[in-house]
Chain A
Amino acid sequence: MIDLVGGVAKATGTQATISIGGPQGPLEAAKGFAAHLAETVQAGEQAAVGGVNGSMPMNEVVQKVMDAERALTTLVSVRDKAVGSLLELTRMQV
């Protein structure tokens, strides 16, 4: 879970570097998911530049920017959920 928070947070640009424990299968997959979404966001940014230059058809620009928006929204939601779970853990009584 902590690795997941680090991976998702990095991909959203918050540069959180929480990392405890070694690499684990599902958590690595979650990082890959975050990296894929980050790539989509980057493609959206490039499309926006292409739209301003007029070097890309408007349909494509809108599609890529919308994809990026959706990826970002999903990513932020997943991150919030993960951070929320982490906070719940820290509140646990010992």
Chain B
Amino acid sequence: MDPISSATTTAFSGLSAQSIRMKIIAENIANAQSTGRTPGADPYRRKMVAFANVMDEARGTAMVQVDQSGVDKAPFKVEHIPGHPAADAQGNVKLPNVDMIVEMGDMKEALHSYDANLQVIRQGREMMSGLVDLLRST
């Protein structure tokens, strides 16, 4: 496969990976207050993504793949809210281990990575059009 096309394809896989990362961040932020439904039940556990390098044999180029099955093993926050449906016998409620500052930092990083991949695509496109334009010059 043409190297410039390969670069573009790899950058598109990067865009896809960052989109999935963004989806996971959105889920974490939306569920930052999601508790269990029964007394003492576990609340929402923060999800994490892991990126892996995967070789696309057909194209002969390295792509990025996202594993979105990971969860943050950090302990839950605990608050004393006796009237809460998820409160245990002592009135303690387990809250999700989502930290808004960490999520915001992750989001910023996802945005920067997305922009970097977009830039690779733009540049590849420019190089390819330059090459094809050689045919037009008379």
Contact = CB atoms under 8 A, between A and B. Distances in A.
B136 interface: yes
B19 A77 contact: no
B4 to A, nearest CB: 10
B12 A73 contact: no
A11 to B, nearest CB: 16
Nearest to B121: A66
A77 B132 CA distance: 7
Interface in A40-94: 57, 59-60, 62-63, 66-67, 70, 73-74, 77-78, 80-81, 84
Nearest to A70: B128
A78 B19 contact: no
Interface residues of A, number: 15
Contact of A80 (B5, B121, B125, B135): B135
Contact of A81 (B9, B12, B135): B135
B90 interface: no
Q: Which secondary structure dominates where chain A touches chain B?
A: helix
Contacts of B65: none
A57 B19 CA distance: 10
Interface in B1-58: 5, 8-9, 12, 15-16, 19
Given A63-B9, A80-B135, A73 B16 contact: no
Nearest to A79: B135
Interface of B: 5, 8-9, 12, 15-16, 19, 121, 125, 128-129, 132-133, 135-136, 138
The 3 closest A-B pairs by CB, nearest first: A77-B135, A63-B12, A59-B15
Given A59-B12, A59-B19, A81-B135, 5 more contacts: A60-B12, A67-B5, A70-B125, A70-B128, A84-B138
Interface of A: 57, 59-60, 62-63, 66-67, 70, 73-74, 77-78, 80-81, 84
